Amino acid sequence: MEIKIRKATTQDLPSVFEMVKALALYEKAPEEVKTTLQDYINDFETEIYDVLVADKDGEVIGIALYFLTFSTWKGRMMFLEDFVVKDEYRGIGIGKFLFDSLIEQAQALGCKLMKWQVLDWNEPAINFYNKYGATYEKEWWNCKINV
């Protein structure tokens, strides 16, 4: 099986959006997805975010959706918003290939830090991130407001 990791194009966004909705379902929060495909297109075209995709014969089977931000302590930082591989392609190394490519992308962009969130009950994801020596900042609380 030949898998290619590449930057997403506008044509990939319907697949990206569907994978995000599938992830929301897995995370038991499908009703929380308030964005539309048009939101994805608009914000992609204005470079609010970017996506690496795992491509198998033209089919998007994995995504790493990220954006750049700034840490006042570390400098340029990448935030990984969503990372998902389709169910039928899990456990065969595609996630590792995609995540390794994302780390390379962060380094190429001059990032000093990469952050993301993981649900405390998502043991498969936690086990995956543990292989990378991830640090879990349990003393910091996530905060948000709807505006």
Instruction: Note down the domain range covering 107.
Output: 4-130
**Is 26 an active-site residue?**
no
- 115 forms bridges with which residues in the sheet? 79
Q: From first to last of its 147 residues, what are the pLDDT tens digits of the chain?
A: 799 999 999 999 999 999 999 999 999 999 999 999 999 999 999 999 999 999 999 999 999 999 999 999 999 999 999 999 999 999 999 999 999 999 999 999 999 999 999 999 999 999 999 999 999 999 999 999 989
Is residue 140 one of the residues assigned to a domain? no
3-state secondary structure the chain: CCCEEEECCHHHHHHHHHHHHHHHHHCCCHHHCCCCHHHHHHHHHCCCCEEEEEEECCEEEEEEEEEEEEECCCEEEEEEEEEEECHHHCCCCHHHHHHHHHHHHHHHCCCCEEEECCCCCCHHHHHHHHCCCCCCCCCCCCCCCCC
Catalytic residue among 66, 89, 129, 136: 129
The count of domains in the chain is 1
The pLDDT value recorded for residue 1 is 78
Decide if 33 is inside a domain. Answer: yes
CATH of the domain at 76: 3.40.630.30
What is the reported pTM?
Answer: 0.95
Q: Which residues contact 38 (CB under 8 A, 6 or more apart)?
A: none
